[in-house]
C-alpha cells in the first residue's frame, strides 16, 4: 500500500515499544491514522496482534515484533527487522515500562533491578539501536518518560530512579546531537497519572495493586502528545496540569511537596485488590487494552501546550 497523502505523517516509518496495551497501543493507532507505517515491539503476542488488527482495520500498515526490551540481543534484532520492513526509521518511540510497587526496603533486589532494566536500560538500548537509522533519515526520538522523572513518588522507587535516569540520559543525548550538528531531534513526553492497565499488572511487594493518584488523565491524551511531538518536535511536554503543578511544587517548595507525597501520595495509591503474581515485571501482560478502569479525563494542559485540540479527541479508541 502506498503512503496515504494529506496526512501529517504520511509515509513516515515509526517504531514503538510497549505497544501491546495502554499508551503504546493507542499510540500505534494514532500514528497510523496520521499516515505512518508502524512497527510494534512488545512481549505480548496477543496484544500486538490486536494492535496490528486495529491499525489495518483503519487502513494502516503495521507489523508485530515480539521481544523483551530488557533482552538486548532480542531488542536489537527486533529493531533491525523493523528497519528492514519499514525501509528505515524516521521516529522511534521508547514507551515500554514496568514497575515494582511497594516500600523500598520491602522490594526484592530482583524486582528493583528488573524495573530499571526494562524502564531505563530498555529505553536506552532502543534509542541506541535506532540512532544510526535516525541519523540517516534526520529522524526523531519521542520517548514516553514520566512526571516521575521530576518528582520522587513514594512506593515506586525503582520506577522513579529509572525515569530520572532516562530523562537525564536523553537530555545529555540531545545536547551531544546538537553539538555535532545532527538533525536528529529528541523529545520527551511526561505523563502524570494515566488510566491504563499498568496498575493492575504491577508487581507488588505489598500483595495489593496500586492505583493512580487523582487527577487521572486519559491514555489518548498521552498518545496524541507523542504524535504531536513527532509532527513538530518539542524538547519536553507534560500531560496533566496536576502533574505539572506537582513538578513545580517539588522544585520550588520541597517541604510542601514532601508533605503531600508522604500523606496523600501514599494512601491515595493504595487499594485492597490483590496483585497478580509474578506481575508484569516478569510476565507479558498486554492484551490490547488501553484503559485501566480508573476513570480519566483529557489533558487540556497538554492540548494547549501542543497548540492543538487533537489531544482532547478520545472517541476513536
Q: Is 181 helix (H, G, I), strand (E, B) or coil?
A: coil
| Domain interval for residue 155 | 13-306
Q: What is the CA radius of gyration of the chain?
A: 18
Nearest to 49 by CA among 294, 291, 283, 284: 284
272 belongs to a structural domain? yes
314 belongs to a structural domain? no
Buried b (16+ CB within 10 A) or exposed e, 146-176: bbbbbbbbebbbbbbbbbbbbbebbeebbee
Position 3 scores a pLDDT of 54
CA distance 125 to 209: 29
Whether 159 is a known active-site residue: answer: yes
pLDDT in tens, 3-30: 556 799 999 999 999 999 999 999 999 9
CATH number for position 268:
3.40.50.720
Q: Determine which of 31-45, 55-69, 235-249 has the lowest per-residue pLDDT on average.
A: 235-249
316 belongs to a structural domain? no
317 belongs to a structural domain? no
Catalytic pick among 101, 159, 198, 217: 159
pLDDT in tens, 107-152: 999 999 999 999 999 999 999 999 999 999 999 999 999 999 999 9
167 belongs to a structural domain? yes
Position 197 scores a pLDDT of 86
Our count of domains for the chain comes to: 1
Buried b (16+ CB within 10 A) or exposed e, 260-283: bbeeebeeebeeeeebeeebbbee
CA distance 294 to 102: 20
281 belongs to a structural domain? yes
Q: Does pLDDT of 156 surpass 90? A: yes
Nearest to 218 by CA among 22, 16, 55, 25: 22
236 belongs to a structural domain? yes
Q: Is 38 helix (H, G, I), strand (E, B) or coil?
A: strand
φ, ψ (nearest 5 deg) of residue 226: -60, -45
Q: Which three cell numbers stand for residue 3?
A: 503512503
CA distance 107 to 203: 10
215 belongs to a structural domain? yes
Say if strands 270-274 and 208-210 run parallel, antiparallel, or are unpaired.
Answer: antiparallel
Amino acid at each position: 500500500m502506498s503512503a496515504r497523502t494529506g496526512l501529517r505523517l504520511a509515509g513516515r516509518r515509526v517504531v514503538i515499544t510497549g505497544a501491546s496495551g495502554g499508551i503504546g497501543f493507542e499510540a500505534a493507532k494514532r500514528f497510523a491514522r496520521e499516515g505512518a507505517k508502524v512497527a510494534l515491539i512488545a512481549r505480548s503476542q496477543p496484544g500486538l496482534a490486536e494492535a496490528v488488527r486495529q491499525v489495518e482495520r483503519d487502513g494502516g500498515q503495521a507489523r508485530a515484533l515480539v521481544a523483551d526490551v530488557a533482552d538486548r540481543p532480542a531488542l536489537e534484532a527486533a529493531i533491525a527487522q523493523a528497519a528492514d520492513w519499514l525501509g528505515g526509521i524516521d521516529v522511534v518511540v521508547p514507551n515500554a515500562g514496568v514497575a515494582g510497587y511497594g516500600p523500598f526496603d520491602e522490594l526484592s533486589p530482583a524486582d528493583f533491578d528488573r524495573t530499571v532494566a526494562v524502564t531505563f536500560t530498555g529505553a536506552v538500548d532502543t534509542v541506541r539501536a535506532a540512532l544510526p537509522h535516525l541519523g540517516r533519515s534526520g529522524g526523531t526520538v519521542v520517548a514516553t518518560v514520566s512526571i516521575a522523572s521530576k518528582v520522587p513518588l513514594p512506593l515506586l522507587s525503582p520506577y522513579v530512579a529509572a525515569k530520572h535516569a532516562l530523562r537525564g540520559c536523553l537530555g545529555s543525548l540531545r545536547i551531544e546531537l546538537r553539538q555535532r550538528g545532527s538533525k536528529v531531534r529528541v523529545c520527551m513526553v511526561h505523563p502524570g497519572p494515566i488510566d491504563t492497565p499498568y496498575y493492575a499488572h504491577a508487581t507488588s511487594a505489598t500483595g495489593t495493586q496500586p492505583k493512580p493518584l487523582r487527577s487521572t488523565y486519559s491514555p489518548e491524551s498521552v498518545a496524541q502528545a507523542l504524535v504531536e511531538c513527532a509532527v513538530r518536535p518539542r524538547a519536553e511536554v507534560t500531560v496533566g496540569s496536576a502533574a505539572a503543578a506537582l513538578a513545580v511544587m517539588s522544585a520550588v517548595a520541597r517541604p510542601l511537596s514532601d508533605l503531600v507525597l508522604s500523606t496523600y501520595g501514599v494512601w491515595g495509591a493504595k487499594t485492597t485488590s490483590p496483585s497478580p503474581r509474578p506481575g508484569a515485571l516478569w510476565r507479558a501482560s498486554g492484551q490490547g487494552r488501553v484503559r485501566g478502569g480508573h476513570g480519566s479525563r483529557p489533558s487540556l494542559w497538554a492540548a494547549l501546550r501542543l497548540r492543538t485540540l487533537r489531544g482532547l479527541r478520545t472517541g476513536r479508541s
